[in-house]
Amino acid sequence: MNAARTLAVPLALLAALAAGPAAPGPAAAADRAPGAVPRAADHLQLSVSGSERTWWRGVELDCRPPGGRHPRAARACAAIERARGDFGALRGRAGMCTAVHDPVTAAATGTWRGRRIEWRRTYGNACELESATGPVFRF
């Protein structure tokens, strides 16, 4: 290999680095892939499972703007907004629940207003979950 060719590759790499990145990094590129839908600013994965995970269901919830696969996205986002992203402060409907012990566990992970959310709580039954969280886990 001649000396001119040996220097050409490193010089081309140096010129590319000096010019700055030509394309966004891998994470940004994934967000802008053809056909990709941009992720909402507030993105949560919500799940509810039965006693000892005998069953499980989950949904994605986007807020700002409300969307995702949650059937009541706007109401769920409004409830989370009222609680200022504190899932322990969610408020559902007032009412009486039976004393039937059939535990359900609700969980939320994701981001809310730039803050990481990792929340999980077990309720005595589905009625108690609904009374405590309103539309957020109603899917």
State pLDDT tens for residues 98-122: 999 999 999 999 999 999 999 999 9
Q: Give pLDDT, residue 101.
A: 94
Could you give the CA distance from residue 68 to residue 78 in angstroms, rounded to a whole number? 14
| pLDDT tens-digit readout, 62-100 | 998 999 999 999 999 999 999 999 999 999 887 899 999
* Between 61 and 5, the higher pLDDT residue: 61
What b/e readout covers 18-52, taking b as 16+ CB neighbours within 10 angstroms? eeeeeeeeeeeeeeeeeeeeeebebbbebbbbeee
Cα separation, 61 vs 39, in Å, equals 10
Say what the pLDDT of residue 51 is. Answer: 86
The per-residue DSSP string of 85-119 comes to T-GGG--------------EEEEEEEEETTEEEEE
Q: What is the pTM of this model?
A: 0.69
For the chain, the first-to-last Cα distance in angstroms comes to: 66
- Cα separation of 105 and 124, whole Å? 9
Place of tokens 């504190």: 86
22-51: per-residue pLDDT in tens? 444 344 334 444 544 455 578 999 999 998
Domain at 40-137: CATH code: 3.30.350.10
